[in-house]
Amino acid sequence: MSKLMYLFAFLCIFSVNVFAVNTSVTTQMQWNSLGTVIPPGDTVFIEESAVIVNTTMPGISIQGVLIVYGSFTMDMSGAGIAAIGKVINYGTFVVNQGLAIIGTFVNAGMMDLMSAGIDIVTGGLLVNNGTIMHGPAIINNGVFAGNCGTIIGPGVENRQGIDVESPLGSECNDGNAGTENDVIVNNEQCLCQGSLIAPIPTMSQWALMILLLMSSVIGVVVIKSRNQILARQ
C-alpha cells in the first residue's frame, strides 16, 4: 500500500473531531472549529462568499457530503483529502497534497491540483464538467466521466479503471437532482459540450513562446520607428 493510502487510512481511523449536521460555513473560524472528519449522513456547505483554507492536521476525511460554492484550499504539508462520501464543487477547489477519491467527486467549477496527486480508487467516481488543472496524471482505478469538461495537464492514466463518455448535448451530471448520481438541487442546467485536453507547456515551450512574443514586439517597434523616420524626410 502506498504512503498516500496509509495516510488516508490513518485519517479514517484516528480522526475524532466531527462536523455538525447540515452546516453552512461562511468564515474561516467556523471551518476551524468543525474538525477533521465529515461523518456519514452529515453535509457541510461552503457558501458562495466563503474563502476557506484548511490547515488542520492530519488532513480531512470526507465520509459524508462536502458541497463547495465558494473557495476551498487544502494547504497542508503532510496530509491530503480522503473523499469517501460525496464532494460537489461549484466554486474553486485547490489541493496541494494528495486527493483519494473513494466515493463520488463531481466537479462543476475549477479544480487546481497542480502539485497534488489524484487517485480514483476502485469503486470511486470522478465526474468533471468544469475545469481541472493538474500536474501529475490522474490515476484511474475506478470510473472517470470527464468528456464534458476541460482538463489542463497530462490527463488521465487509466490503469484498471473505466472511462465513461456522455453524448454531446446531453444533460451532464453536475449535482442537479434528477440525473444519475446527483445528490443536491441546483438551478443551473449543465449540457455536455465536449471536452478539451490541453497539456501544460514545458519550460522550453514557454521560452520559445516568450522569444516569439519578444521578436514580434521588437519587429513592431522597428517598423514604427522606420515609418516615423521616413515621415520626417
Q: Name which of 16-25, 67-76, 136-145 the model is least confident about.
A: 16-25
Rounded distance, CA 220 to CA 87, Å?
A: 50
62 has pLDDT over 80: yes
Q: Summarize the confidence of residues 54-69 as an average pLDDT.
A: 84
216 has pLDDT over 60: no
20 has pLDDT over 60: no
Which pLDDT band holds residue 7 (cuts at 50, 70, 90)? Answer: very low
Rounded distance, CA 208 to CA 204, Å?
A: 6
The pLDDT value given to residue 187: 53
Contacts of 6 (CB under 8 A, 6+ apart): none
17 has pLDDT over 60: no
Rounded distance, CA 97 to CA 116, Å?
A: 5
pTM for the full predicted model: 0.72
The pLDDT value given to residue 126: 92
Per the prediction, the chain carries an average pLDDT of 75
Cell of 190: 449543465
Percent of the chain whose pLDDT exceeds 90: 19
Q: How many CA atoms lie within 13 A of 206 on its CB side?
A: 5
Bigger pLDDT: 24 or 205?
24
CB 97 within 8 A of CB 80: yes
Question: pLDDT (tens digit, 9 = 90+) per residue, 117-160?
Answer: 889 999 999 998 888 988 888 899 999 988 888 888 888 888 98
Rounded distance, CA 202 to CA 121, Å?
A: 29
Phi, psi of 11 (to 5 degrees): -60, -45
